[in-house]
Amino acid sequence: MKTTAEDLSLILKQQNISVTPQRVQILKNIMERHDHPSADNIFQEVRRALPMISFNTVYKTLETFCQLGLIMKVNPLHEVARYDGNTTPHTHLICTRCHQVEDLYWDWPKEIPLPDLRSSGFQVESVAVQLFGLCRRCQNEAATPL
């Protein structure tokens, strides 16, 4: 998604948070890419435009955006959090070898029978499905170590 500085400022204003050059750059970066970057990936890009920015600022800003629902967090392999600027419902194809995360629009059956959770008292709000496997590139290279 191509975003203008005006669009981005408006998005931030709608959330009642102040519009800073850091926030605008970080939001622009995450919304324009589709590779589900880590905080460090975003930091490396954003610091080109804002050399004084710290990793901590990038990280905290991403967490704020997550809380506001502007972006989503994906923790595919329980290691480094990855962020997703695409908040429309979709699932992910996750490569267990190179950790590539690809978007998948799949209308999977929503009426999955849930287990009886009455005894645990847990209230389910949503069910997430992610598909793990090997991307095309890794299938070809699976024989060779990374």
**7 vs 103, which CB is nearer to Zn ion?**
103
Give the three-state DSSP class for 38. strand
**47 vs 73, which CB is nearer to Zn ion?**
73
What is the 8-class DSSP label of residue 122?
-
- Binding to Zn ion, residues 69-88 (CB under 5 A): 84, 86
98 binds Zn ion (CB under 5 A): yes
Instruction: Output Rg (C-alpha) for the chain, integer angstroms.
Output: 18
Residue bearing tokens 């460090």: 40
138 binds Zn ion (CB under 5 A): yes
CB 97 within 8 A of CB 142: yes
From the list 17, 44, 93, 103, which residue makes contact with Zn ion (rule: CB under 5 A)?
103
Residue bearing tokens 């209230």: 123
47 binds Zn ion (CB under 5 A): no
141 binds Zn ion (CB under 5 A): no
**21 vs 133, which CB is nearer to Zn ion?**
133
24 binds Zn ion (CB under 5 A): no
Tokens of 99: 């950790």
Compute the least distance from the CB of residue 14 to Zn ion, in Å: 22
What is the 8-class DSSP label of residue 113?
P
The amino acid sitting at 96 is T
Compute the least distance from the CB of residue 51 to Zn ion, in Å: 29
> What are the E-state strand segments in 1-71?
none
Q: Given the rule CB under 5 A, which residues bind Zn ion?
A: 84, 86, 95, 97-98, 100, 103, 135, 138
